[in-house]
Amino acid sequence: MTRIAVYPGSFDPLTFGHLDIAARAARLFDEVHILVVHNPSKTPRFSSEERVELIRASMPEAARYGVSFPSSAHSKVIIDTLDGGLLADYCHRVGASVLVKGVRNGVDIDYEVPMARVNRDLAGVETVLIPADPSQGFVSSSLVKQVADLGGSVEKYVPSPVVRALAATAKNQK
Ligand code: PNS
């Protein structure tokens, strides 16, 4: 049986923390869908297509950042978008029985547990919470955007395609 997992999030933009969770999920499952989800409670900096492109451009360079994905013979990674509708329905469509989420602290766990219960209730999909690597435990997409907008260096937190994209969009924010 092929074990398929979905790793959903806003990824606005992708951080090293996200990349690390995706790589660790790829070692646990045969197929992992990194799913860029439209979150109606957030106004994204990047379009879904741009976020997908940033993930795609960052993955081949993951090893440069100390993140290692298993070979494609061992696990398939798919990057996809969900611009509306339930995550549970997406899981059902692609045959996924597991959702993967990265958690940095207790606040993240408190946020994730009710969603995990809803997704299990709606579609029998289990959620696996993976603790973030301590080196990335304080990094979030929103903090990274703020630092970049104020002219700070974000190279320690995000892959170089994201550094460039943030620099390009930050010009209009200063
Ligand atoms: O990176 P984020 O913004 O914290 O990700 C949140 C996300 C996109 C995973 C969450 O908003 C979500 O699950 N959206 C899908 C809509 C859905 O199915 N909601 C009901 C069950 S929680």
Over residues 31-53, the pLDDT tens digits come to 999 999 998 888 999 999 999 99
Confidence of residue 64 (pLDDT cuts 50, 70, 90): confident
Measured in Å, residue 37 CA sits from the centre of ligand 1 at 7
Measured in Å, residue 26 CA sits from the centre of ligand 1 at 20
87 lines ligand 1 (CB under 6 A): yes
Domain containing 146 equals 4-173
CB 131 within 8 Å of CB 103: yes
In whole angstroms, give the CA distance from residue 166 to residue 7. 23
Q: State both tokens at 132.
A: 């973030």
Average pLDDT, the chain: 94
Total domains, the chain:
1
- Residue 167 phi/psi, 5-degree rounding, is -65, -40
- Active site includes 33? no
* Residue 143's CATH number: 3.40.50.620
